[in-house]
Amino acid sequence: MTEQLPPEALVSRAAQLREELRYHNHRYYTLDDPLISDAQYDALLNELRAIEADYPSLRTVDSPTQRVGSAPLSRFPKVQHPVPMLSLGNAFGPDDLNAWLERVQKLLPPNTPLSFVVEPKIDGLAVALTYSNGVLTVGATRGNGEIGEDVTANLRTVSNVPLRIPVSGATPPERLEVRGEVYLPIAAFEALNERQAAANDKVFANPRNAAAGSLRQLDSSITASRPLRFFAYAVGPFAGIELTSQWQTLQLLREYGFAVNPDARHFDDWQAVLDYCHAWMERRETLAYEVDGVVIKINDFELQEQLGVVGRDPRWAIAYKFPAREETTKLLDIGVNVGRTGKLIPFAVMEPVEIGGTIVQHASLHNADYVISRDIRIGDTVVVKRAGDVIPYVVGPIPAGRDGSEQPWRAPTLCPACGQPVERLPEEVDIYCVNADCPAQLVRTLEHWVSRGAMDIVGMGERQAQQFVEWGLVRTIPDLYRLTAADFAEREGYAEKRVENLLTAIAESKSRPLERVITALGIRGVGSVGAVDLARHFGSLDALAAAGEAELTAIEGIGPNTARSIVDFFATPANQQLLADLQALGVRSAADAAAQPLGTTLAGKTFVITGTLPDVSRDAARELIEANGGKVTGSVSQKTDYLLAGEAAGSKLSRAQQLGVAIIDWAQLQALIG
């Protein structure tokens, strides 16, 4: 039946109710200063619900009635962040902070004035909220920093996330991505766990896990039932507004109706920053929510651009972590794991102990020398530390607690996985199993090969790696590419469709970019960033294998130890056979033809890319520029020749305009290349 047009009076009343409810919602959840009673608020909300029930066309996506959740999903769609959500480097004391400041000052012109913004580091789940003309359209988790999950329906249920901005009714920006943290207050966490326990459901270890689990519910009505909260602390891409500093950004977010932590501070004096950090440590146990430190940021966006990013960490910000929490427990045993390089890694097996809301039963012992030099004995009472997300580790024993039954530990002389003799390399503290057929090494190597940062084979993980090695299906990495459907016949858990998907994923991994293959090889000292540099410089595995230490150390970021590791890796006969087998099986061993220089049109020119480009990703644009001889950097400077700008260009556009850098769009770039 076709809906009748609503009377004009109801259209106006619905709009008025939405405006009033948004205002009172902001007063209650964000400002903690309500003007009306709960009963009065409920009456307004019920009136709007009744109007929308009679006339569904009046129900807007930003209506306060939409916070109750929606139909359950089967999965979360993926979201590509237009600008990566970065991680942060860590500092654990004043010396670390002073060292960070010195690094910042060395990268800037002498006597550059600095101001800082210090904000509490909320222990929750990072998200990005995208507003188009003031309406919340997409809400995504951080994910791996580049790709997150679309949890828009769930974020709409978070009571202090504005569904429309600004709350005041002023003109909204054309586009704004707001970044922040979803968290669960401690009291709400404790109440949730009581309800979960009473219903014989999962009890969460800490508020962060509870917040993450609540936000990633496929049924958003479950999310709506949990009192999550949100603090905004940054912006991503934006259009229609001007922002030049972090402090200005926080003020604007407050004006738009976002909850911004009231303890954020702006300082022009470094000593004041250190004093504030120290004062915050003393408040840790008095807060209504979990924090694991504070974040210090260079305030000026122009200086942030100049400082840039190293790896995934911005040089212009650092997280000052609170001192690690410590507990004591009994050391029951010392086990030994074998890593993918053959390194023997001792670990502690302990009586379970709670540290910072997490039950800890295993902890790192670093290496054999660490255990022996500290005289850590099986049966000791030991001190265990855990700082933030750092793996717990044993600090040392408490000798006064010994009763004589404790047993000294001896470093193994045989590999615990294969029983072969182990070796200690000259000038190294680590012990290695050098047996190329060691099954434990193969499992770890296979885990690394299929991981997301390497060949990214969907459907493969730790369990599958263990199974394939135990079943004798994979004895070397190339065996992975020789698997057939017949290998999985009669194997429990491997139905026809699952095997088909797995074999497809393995086949697709053959075409991963060269830098992924280099990462997957697991050369000691070569991570994902170094792999990109090596792939760009050499263009093929053959060229890389033929390189000497001198040529390798000439590449920025490749030191003498890493260069020696690379040379040693390719000089090993087993690895030479590995590369030959992989190449014969069709695994990429050279960069794409499109990634090789196609011309010199852009030779000697430096580009910076910003904003959202039409019908093409920024990675594709970078590859096109580099393929034609150009260079792409991350920040605008006087050395920049062109800024390739798309929609929502942000502060890089302003910086380019200030410096007189030529600004071009996608069509003009294509014209430059010809």
Residue 225: closest CA among 270, 265, 192: 192
Q: What is the CATH number of the domain that holds 634?
A: 3.40.50.10190
CA of residue 414 relative to chain centroid, distance: 38
Task: Indicate if 477 and 577 belong to the same structural domain.
Answer: no
Would 495 be classed as within a structural domain? yes
> Which of 70-74, 148-152, 165-169 has the lowest average pLDDT?
70-74
DSSP class of residue 631 equals E
CA separation for the pair 90, 450 (Å, rounded)? 29
Confidence of residue 425 (pLDDT cuts 50, 70, 90): low
Instruction: Give the type of residue at 360.
Output: V
Task: Indicate if 623 and 575 belong to the same structural domain.
Answer: no
Confidence of residue 28 (pLDDT cuts 50, 70, 90): low
Average confidence (pLDDT) over 180-205: 81
Enumerate long-range contacts of 470-477, CB under 8 Å, 24 or more apart. 470/439, 474/442, 474/446, 475/437, 475/442, 476/442, 476/578, 476/581, 477/445, 477/446, 477/449, 477/578, 477/582
From residue 276, give the alpha-carbon distance in Å to each of 97, 166, 530, 635, 663. Answer: 13, 31, 37, 31, 41
* pLDDT at residue 594 tops 50: no
Task: Indicate if 507 and 648 belong to the same structural domain.
Answer: no
Task: Indicate if 470 and 502 belong to the same structural domain.
Answer: yes
Would 73 be classed as within a structural domain? no
* pLDDT at residue 148 tops 90: no
Task: Indicate if 161 and 250 belong to the same structural domain.
Answer: yes
| DSSP helix/strand/coil, 129 | strand
Would 425 be classed as within a structural domain? no
Q: What is the CATH number of the domain that holds 51?
A: 1.10.287.610
* pLDDT at residue 1 tops 60: no
Task: Indicate if 357 and 248 belong to the same structural domain.
Answer: no
Give CA torsion, residues 102, 105, 111, 115, to 10 deg: -90
Would 81 be classed as within a structural domain? no
- Number of other CB atoms surrounding residue 272 within 10 Å: 14
Task: Indicate if 315 and 262 belong to the same structural domain.
Answer: yes
* pLDDT at residue 651 tops 80: no
Confidence of residue 387 (pLDDT cuts 50, 70, 90): low
Domains: count for the chain: 6
Task: Indicate if 243 and 352 belong to the same structural domain.
Answer: no
The alpha helices in 94-183, defined as continuous H runs, are 94-107, 152-155
Output the pLDDT for position 427: 64
Would 431 be classed as within a structural domain? no
**pLDDT single digits (tens) 503-553:** 999 999 999 989 889 989 988 778 766 787 788 889 999 999 999 988 998
From residue 317, give the alpha-carbon distance in Å to each of 88, 230, 276. Answer: 7, 21, 16
Please say which residue of 321, 350, 365 terminates a domain. 321
Output the pLDDT for position 51: 83
Domain of 390?
325-408
HSE-up of residue 283 (Cα within 13 Å, Cβ side):
15
CA angle 215, 80, 457 (to 5 degrees): 90
Is-contact 360 354, C-beta < 8 A?
yes
The alpha helices in 471-513, defined as continuous H runs, are 477-480, 496-508
Average confidence (pLDDT) over 116-135: 93
Average confidence (pLDDT) over 9-23: 82
Would 432 be classed as within a structural domain? no
Task: Indicate if 631 and 544 belong to the same structural domain.
Answer: no
Average confidence (pLDDT) over 45-56: 80
Would 400 be classed as within a structural domain? yes
Task: Indicate if 181 and 110 belong to the same structural domain.
Answer: yes
Task: Indicate if 225 and 371 belong to the same structural domain.
Answer: no
Q: Is the dihedral of CA 521, 524, 528, 533 positive or negative?
A: negative
HSE-up of residue 147 (Cα within 13 Å, Cβ side):
5
Task: Indicate if 359 and 485 belong to the same structural domain.
Answer: no
Is-contact 155 161, C-beta < 8 A?
yes
Q: What is the CATH number of the domain that holds 573?
A: 1.10.150.20
| DSSP helix/strand/coil, 638 | coil
Would 667 be classed as within a structural domain? yes
* pLDDT at residue 240 tops 50: yes
Q: What is the CATH number of the domain that holds 315?
A: 3.30.470.30
Please say which residue of 408, 430, 450 terminates a domain. 408
**pLDDT single digits (tens) 309-363:** 876 788 999 999 877 677 889 999 999 988 877 888 899 999 998 886 678 899 9
Q: Which residues pair with 203 in a beta bridge?
A: none
Run of H or E residues at 397: strand 393-397
Please say which residue of 541, 563, 591 terminates a domain. 591
Catalytic residue list: 121
